Structure 1
Amino acid sequence: MTPFLFLCLVMAVAGRDAHNVQLSQAQKEKVHQYTAQCVKETGVKTDVLAEAKKGHFADDEALKKFTLCFFQKSGIVDSTGKLNVEAALSKLPQGVNKADATKLLEECKKKTGKDAADTAFEVFKCYSRGTKQHILA
């Protein structure tokens, strides 16, 4: 399993009552590109990414930096790690319930950390734990 499935831009983790949605081919290509760049830039280990994809979030500085890197390249957080809800919504694939996503993103936007990477990671964990949709890449 490749680590790009971990973030898939919308920060989704499967739940018991989840339903699946597909990324477009263009979205898949961007995910691959950003993942490769951010893995190289941060040195995050693929096993840490694989565990995060399963919903097990290690308190790992490289994982936090990866999250910030990926989200910045995606345009959904700024340099401080603050979430841009509108930008995040615009990146969601078809099939995602936008009203539910908006409500959850607005709640997760309030999360903060000790620095930009920690803040982006807290936002990611919040959304991942709150969503019922699983993104298939």
Structure 2
Amino acid sequence: MLNFVIHTVKMYLTLLILLVTLTNVYCVSDEIKELMNNLHKTCVGNTGVDEALIVNANKGQFEEDEKFKCYTRCIFDEVGLFDDDNKFDVEGAIAMLPDEMKDTILGSVIKECGASCTLFYIITTEI
């Protein structure tokens, strides 16, 4: 069960990183592309992560790298998934899920693990 959850979280993290780094997708408005590009640039600048690690993550190949972990954390911070007290915003994360996912195991894991930072721990230690 935990492996399924980790796989699901990795999938969503991959999608989030992919969305942030894609700037030439035709179905995304120029405004959204600019926002994603700025988010990517901000987090790369803040962390000094190697762009190759992000490219690999877009392919589902996650590497054990502290700067990459900081990059993923930066993305979560920038999209508002952590509050001013450095706590994971459970309700914000659930609100970002597609409606059909809110009552699934992923939504349950976010509710159960989010407040204790276990979810972020899983994301950063299992990739």
TM range, smaller chain = 0.5 to 0.7
Within-5 A mapping of 1:62-77: 62-77=67-82
Conserved 8 A contact 1:48-1:63: yes
Q: 2:62 aligns with which of 57, 62, 65?
A: 57
- The equivalent residue for 2:123 is 124
Cα offset, 1:48, TM superposition:
0.7
TM-align CA RMSD = 3.4
CA change 1:87–1:52 in 2 (3 A) is same
Say yes or no: does 1:40 pair with 2:59: no
Within-5 A mapping of 1:1-12: 10-12=12-14
- The equivalent residue for 2:6 is none
Report SS of the residue matched to 2:54. helix
Say yes or no: does 1:99 pair with 2:103: yes
User: Aligned residues: percent identity?
Assistant: 27
What per-residue deviation string (whole Å, max 9, x for no partner) do you get for residues 50-91 of structure 1?
A: 222333322211111111111111110246754212111223
Unaligned runs of 5+ in 1: 1-9, 14-22, 113-118, 130-137
CA change 1:28–1:104 in 2 (3 A) is farther
- The equivalent residue for 1:134 is none
Cα offset, 1:29, TM superposition:
4.3
Report SS of the residue matched to 1:62. helix
CA change 1:96–1:39 in 2 (3 A) is farther
Q: 1:85 aligns with which of 60, 85, 90?
A: 90
Q: Which one has the bigger helix percentage?
A: 2
Q: Which runs of 4+ in 1 moved over 4 A?
A: 23-29
CA change 1:52–1:98 in 2 (3 A) is same
Larger radius of gyration: 2
Unaligned runs of 5+ in 2: 1-11, 16-26
Report SS of the residue matched to 1:99. coil
What TM-score comes out, normalization by structure 1 length? 0.55
CA distance in 2, matches of 1:103, 1:90: 13
